[in-house]
Amino acid sequence: EAEVAQSPRYKITEKSQAVAFWCDPISGHATLYWYRQILGQGPELLVQFQDESVVDDSQLPKDRFSAERLKGVDSTLKIQPAELGDSAMYLCASRTHWGKVTDTQYFGPGTRLTVL
């Protein structure tokens, strides 16, 4: 069964350092999402791509976070500089196309970030 791949699975970094997370969606999935999940809470959408275009980045802290999906396939989420409050699980999800309402999102295993 096809899966969403994410790396690294775990990342420990110091405050003010730069970090990057990578996501490879299921083949053929045009829509890609990045979510952040703080311990004890549900995931919260950071950014959504349709192919290589950003559809929704209203919750992305743009002063320090950036996301790209240059060829409309895999994606990178970057934080620079990292802050203590960025410690969380970063989840990537994909689906065939956002307009297909009965389609479902498939999530990757996530990257657990710890900022010291």
Rounded to the nearest 10°, the torsion over CA 109, 83, 85, 89 is 0
Rounded to whole angstroms, the Cα distance separating 108 from 40 reads: 19
Q: How far is the CB of 81 from other proteins (least distance, A)?
A: 26
The greatest distance separating any two alpha carbons of the chain, rounded to the nearest whole angstrom, comes to 42
Q: What is the DSSP letter of 15?
A: T
- Size, binding site for other proteins by CB under 8 A: 26
Does residue 5 interact with other proteins by CB under 8 A? no
Does residue 43 interact with other proteins by CB under 8 A? yes
Does residue 22 interact with other proteins by CB under 8 A? no
Does residue 32 interact with other proteins by CB under 8 A? no
Q: Which is nearer to other proteins, 61 or 81 (CB)?
A: 61
Q: Whose CA is closest to 67, among 99, 42, 35?
A: 35
Binding mask 58-87 for other proteins (x = CB under 8 A): ------------------------------
Backbone angles phi, psi at 84, to 5 degrees: -55, -40
Does residue 25 interact with other proteins by CB under 8 A? no
